[in-house]
Chain A
Amino acid sequence: MNRLIGIVDYGSGNVTSVVNAFEALGFSARLSRDWAELKESTHIVLPGVGAFGAGMDRLKGLDLIEKLEREVLEKGKPFLGICLGHQMLATLGLEFGEHEGLNWIQGRVEKIDTGRSQLRLPHIGWNHARVLQPEPLYRHMTESPCFYYVHSYHLVPEDPSWTSAVCDYGVMLTASIQKQNIFGVQFHPEKSQPEGLQLLKNFAELA
């Protein structure tokens, strides 16, 4: 199977490192906002850093949402959201007001509750994930791989069985979700060295 990782370029920062990571793993990756190019890819990655509402506005502005839905929800193409790209999978985002998300994963993106822990936000740095569903993203990893996080909000899915890993930051955060061919990770695998690269490799190897 000829794999081509299509990375959605919707004007969010830090996308080059996602391309670099897939290329270092030996996969072809293409960063594009042109649907003709993205449609050819076998896997789709939605990266992103920034605020929920602004991210959704940019996706809408590029007229990509319905097209992505056709490929991912109808045709079942493997999809990975990273950080903001993971959060935008939710029904609703609560950062700077209420914003509608893609609603591929029913749930809400809420501010991390640090009321009891008094920990600082954003949650920045290396932290362990506790893996609940090792297959397929956490294949060939320990039960608590370490990843690099930068965020203040996290996705709380309506169905807890969609949560594939959690992370302890005073409260249990959603580290990643999965629902059929749809995957999302709150951390940055492209900045998380061997375990991050392993996760990207596991994703890229999905049929």
Chain B
Amino acid sequence: MLKNRLIPCLLLRNGLIVQSKQFKRWQVLGNPTTAVRRLSVWASDELIYLDISPDAVYDLKRDDLNHPNRGSLAEIIRDVAKYCFMPLTFGGGIRTIEDIRVRLGAGADKVSLNTQAVLTPTFVTEAAETFGSQCVVLSIDAAINGENRHEVKIQRGKEWTGLDPVEWAVEGERRGAGEILLNSIDRDGAMKGFDIGLIRRVVEAVSIPVIAIGGAGKWEDLAAALSEGRASAVSAANIFHYTEQSVLNAKKYLFSQGFNVRDPKLLEDKFRDKSSVHDPTLAWTDKRKCIG
């Protein structure tokens, strides 16, 4: 049967990987491709890359460490795709069918749509009809409004829309989205756990897979999003950045708790037994090459 997925998420802001807190504060973590190499060590099932740049400036601000500077998002995607032997979703700033074509052409397997989908809901349908539902992810940023209800926000969390996230997810599915990426702005970077109630309501309302993101502070939180929230996949950003082999450890925890995830033992064996696969990408585990 299909596996539950564990999906590290990387946030890109003007060319650099950042950590985000409630969509308002960002801490720079490093260069877009070294972070991919570090997180791509085999326990991840997919990778989500969200471009949260307020403008189209992509400057790595460094020419050292053999990392050439990159002037466009397509160049960054091409670099990332070279090291990413798993499905890659790219989101952020997508406004047109051409924007999608550029990202898929550079090596993304799926795109996530957010603000433009709310502004022009037919865009979701057009994207699905052009490229297939399997590569259209509807990204929903929800927050609790003044009336203590969940409401969808757009423009990187700056604008309220009046939309109910559950209703919007249902409409997104009807319009052709293949998956929902459900984020909670209040939980973003708070490490206090996912908004399980909201996840569960969205999961029960749609028949497409829901990826839960926003709030993971410990491995148990990931488990809760799968078991209580019934999400098909869990994603997180901050929690994976600061510890060694964090994705593998998260995977081991979920596997030990009986979740239907890929067996981390096999992944770890491959990861260690460098002779079995001629794989230069395993050099990523060399810490000297992980300076980012």
Contacts and interface: CB of A to CB of B under 8 A. Distances in A.
Nearest to A25: B278
Contact of B134 (A25, A26, A150, A190): A150
A191 B85 contact: yes
A126 B277 contact: no
B5 interface: yes
A198 B277 contact: yes
Contacts of A150: 134
A13 B134 CA distance: 13
Given A24-B82, A190-B85, A196-B85, A123 B2 contact: yes
A126 B5 contact: yes
A21 B84 CA distance: 9
B207 A120 contact: yes
Contacts of B276: 140, 198
B5 A197 contact: no
A99 B229 CA distance: 43
B243 to A, nearest CB: 21
Contacts of A24: 82-83, 85, 279-281
Contact of A201 (B262, B267, B278): B278
B2 A126 contact: yes
A191 B86 contact: yes
A126 B42 CA distance: 13
Nearest to A50: B132
Contacts of B208: 120
Interface residues of B, number: 40
Contacts of A120: 207-208
Contact of A17 (B2, B42, B107): B107
B178 interface: yes
Nearest to A140: B276
Interface in A190-204: 190-198, 201
A69 B109 CA distance: 30
Given A124-B178, A127-B2, A194 B42 contact: yes
Contacts of B188: none
Interface in A115-156: 120, 122-127, 140, 142, 146, 148, 150
A123 B1 CA distance: 10
B195 interface: no
B192 interface: no
A197 B85 contact: yes
B107 A125 contact: no
B107 A16 contact: yes
B45 interface: yes
Contacts of A148: 86-87
B81 to A, nearest CB: 6
Given A24-B281, A25-B278, 14 more contacts: A13-B104, A17-B84, A20-B85, A49-B132, A50-B132, A122-B133, A125-B3, A125-B232, A126-B262, A127-B2, A146-B266, A193-B86, A194-B271, A197-B277
18 contacts: A16-B107, A24-B279, A25-B279, A49-B132, A50-B132, A124-B134, A125-B5, A125-B209, A126-B2, A127-B2, A146-B263, A168-B1, A191-B85, A193-B267, A194-B267, A194-B270, A194-B271, A195-B270
* 10 cross-chain pairs, A with B, having the tightest CB-CB distances, nearest first: A194-B270, A126-B3, A125-B2, A146-B262, A193-B42, A20-B82, A16-B107, A150-B134, A193-B85, A191-B87
